Every structure is written in C-alpha cells, then in structure tokens.
Amino acid sequence: MRLFTTRPPARVANRAAAAALAILSMVPRGDAAGQESARNAAPALTPELQQLRLALDKYQDPIVAVHDGYLSTLGCIAYDKGGSEGTMPYAAGGMGVHFLNMQLIGQPIDPLRPQVLIYEPVGDRLRLVAAEWFVPVAAAGGQRPKVGGMELEGPMVGHEPLMPAGLHHYDLHVWLWKTNPLGVYAPTNPAVSCPSNGYSFAESAPKMATHGPP
C-alpha cells in the first residue's frame, strides 16, 4: 500500500493551472500594440480645450483642412537636441507637419480658430495631434498676445529652413489629440517622431528675438 504520491491528483493540478492563468491575465502586457495605444492616447483637457478640440475635430482629415485654407508647409519638424543659451527653451522632442492658414494671420486671435494645425506622419497617413496660435510681431500691436488667459511664447525668429528667419513671431502650441508628457501647452512633444526619410528636418531651436514686449 502506497502512503505517498509524487504527483497531485489531476483535479488539483487543473485547479492550480487555472489559478496561474488567472494571475497571468492580470499582469500588464508590455506588447507593442499596448505601448502604441498609450502613446496615442488623447489627453485630459479642460472644458475650454474640449470645446476647441470639438471645433477642430473635422480637420482630422487633412483634405478638409486644405479645403478650409490650411496649407501644408511640407516638412516634419523635430528638435532632437532641444534649446540652448540664447534660443527658445525647447525640450528635445518633435512637432510634426504644420498646416498654416494665411487668411488667419494678422487677424485678432480667435480661441476656436488657431492659425496652424499640426500633424504627425504615421505610415502613409497624417494624424492630427496639435494646434498652434501664431502671431507675427508686426501684427501684435506692441503687446504680447494672449489666448484663453495664456501668453504666447516669444518673440522668436522664424523657424528655418521652412520659415524666413526675419519673420519674428509669437506662438503657442496646444496638444489636443495626443498626450504630451511635457504639458498640453509645451512646444515640443517627445512622443512625436518624424520619418527618417522624406521631408524631415531636425532643426535647432529658434533664437529669441531682440525686440518685442518683455
């Protein structure tokens, strides 16, 4: 007669396996799809910014943006090294492809009609990630522009090579469709990347302009 056994009964083994599977199912998965979903998660926004995002949601289709006067500046912009002394204090990160509406340049700031839309290239598509208010110094009337209680950053020189250096301006980015770990109003986003080929530019942070209100 055997008093001991070296393996548990089948029903005990089955219960142990089921328990192990249940535990494993609760462990967060680090797969690429999950990480990509987190990268592209929409940010939490104030009611005012939710209203702005709703007003601009139609431009998730870049063809609609072009139809309404937002024209592509072609290049995907990134600031791999961030800012330095004498430049705008950008953190390292990407911006994306800017679509500029010239009809809105020089107009009084409309909180629901920013002058720029920003897209991130994703495969063969453009994904809307941010908007930007853009005011040339010459159109600012000697005052630092504000929108929604936020001051625009600058003044700064034009972003070369896609913009003349002499175009001194103020701007303010707002990341409405993609979370920015640096903050919703930060100019660069480390979660945005430009393709390694095509019209991509790793720019230097623009120099601060020497004139304009303090």
Query: Does residue 23 belong to any structural domain of this protein?
Result: no
pLDDT in tens, 4-58: 344 445 554 455 444 444 433 444 444 544 444 545 667 889 999 999 999 999 9
Q: The pTM is what?
A: 0.77
Query: Does residue 145 belong to any structural domain of this protein?
Result: yes
Count of structural domains, the chain: 1
Query: Does residue 38 belong to any structural domain of this protein?
Result: no
Strands of the sheet containing 93-100, edge to edge, are 153-156, 169-174, 125-136, 116-122, 93-100, 71-79, 200-202
pLDDT in tens, 48-102: 999 999 999 999 999 999 999 999 999 999 998 877 767 888 999 999 999 999 9
Query: Does residue 37 belong to any structural domain of this protein?
Result: no
Q: Maximum Cα–Cα distance for the chain, whole Å?
A: 101
Query: Does residue 32 belong to any structural domain of this protein?
Result: no
Question: What residue numbers bound the domain in which 60 lies?
Answer: 45-202
Closest CA to 120 of 91, 81, 94: 94
Query: Does residue 25 belong to any structural domain of this protein?
Result: no
Q: What is the CA radius of gyration of the chain?
A: 24
